[in-house]
Chain A
């Protein structure tokens, strides 16, 4: 797994939740363990778009349940061209 992407995703999650990065585990469920609701999830993906300069559509987020899912998703997105 790309550790740079992993660190940046965890940093973004910590930024949205205002928690320490050390508290964000890879296996953590966004909803059940970290308390993400739909607004926080949208906020997170806006931050990730900004962080990685990739556009994410709502349908892209289907099936994303854990921190690890996000990291894998971002790694796939990084294969695409950057946003304008």
Chain B
């Protein structure tokens, strides 16, 4: 069975915009949000990178998330719920409140058992894990040390002890729902519970390719007739009180190092790139739907998904295989799956992290497979790297680019590392086929191919 699959709804939470309209407007304006990392992170480690892309303050109620839900979920899941709600509304589904709960909805006129949930995340609820781990580790020790400092310590030691006590800061309690907050499948479960979706429910944990792999497998599930509607995407929340997650990427040497000019520090595909801009997180959710199912509902179609492929390097946990042999094999398989040739592809939303290795290998492979005429940009040049959400956000950008026949610039690209057709100015383009690709720690390669829908 080979059914046509279209995108009928989308929702997004990102550092440069909450909601598709704001997000896309800011993409085309090349807006970025770059700020110094929280000051207290520097008390725990000597960090090389000094900037990140923080999320705006978002009222969870704006995302349709009640206090009762918010208090039991990791922020990553809260953002996923907000993106999902927007996606359903944009897809034109009437959300019917449950008879017994105002927090729960169902999608009117759709068989809930024929809807699948496919979300990606790189680190799941790491924020909740670390928040509670710090309490677990420090609560008693800090209280004992504080008591000693205040009652029995020699006066000359007091300042030092107070400083140590301050470093052992932790949250007020160990959360009774910590397991269901930190488990990586929490976001896909939370979305399906809130919207009463009873079909397959899968979480893809494939580092930076999680969102792409999730959407790709959702595409296959609809195309193959397993489900009629697939809710797919990615979500990630990378913030924690002590900068632990940031440090992990920093110590690996992946984050942007040259932070002297924070506005131009993030520069994928540029000769002077020095790493990726760490994002606080984000979420993008797409509603995929079998074409006739969408047309019967009178849904507005954003773009068509036509192909997907994934391969694995089997080379290194942290480094792309030189030459990109498996990247190329993946891309050629994605093109074959889509039934298009490389020269049919007008636009590539690249992985484009801004690390030395990724951009060099990725540009080399793009040149080899597609040549120099295909337009290329990196959405990470605007909002930094959202890890497990990035692939889904970039597929959304690809779909919007095909819909509007334009796309955003590859920001801060002054001296391209290779002679490719990088997008340097927003303009009217003839974009019929687009491709969004992701490469991940571990060695995962994946791409989704989309076509403009007429």
Contact = CB atoms under 8 A, between A and B. Distances in A.
Interface of A: 15-16, 18, 42-43, 46-47, 49-50, 55-58, 83-84
A3 B176 CA distance: 29
Nearest to A42: B176
Q: Which of B169, B173, B175 has the most CB of A within 10 A?
A: B173
A55 B173 contact: yes
B71 to A, nearest CB: 5
Interface stretch (B44-52, B95-103, B327-335): B95-103
Interface size class of B (residues with CB under 8 A): 10 to 19
B102 A55 contact: no
A46 B71 contact: yes
9 contacts: A15-B66, A18-B101, A46-B71, A46-B176, A55-B172, A57-B173, A58-B176, A83-B173, A84-B171
Given A15-B66, A18-B103, A46-B71, 4 more contacts: A15-B68, A16-B68, A49-B172, A57-B173
SS class of chain B's interface: helix, strand, loop or mixed?
loop
SS class of chain A's interface: helix, strand, loop or mixed?
helix
Contacts of A56: 173
Contacts of B66: 15
Contact of B71 (A18, A50, A83): A50
Contacts of B172: 49, 55, 83-84
A46 B173 CA distance: 10
B429 to A, nearest CB: 49
B67 A47 contact: yes
A18 B67 contact: no
Given A18-B100, A18-B101, A18-B103, A43 B173 contact: no
Contacts of B176: 42, 46, 58
Contacts of A57: 173
Interface in B148-165: none
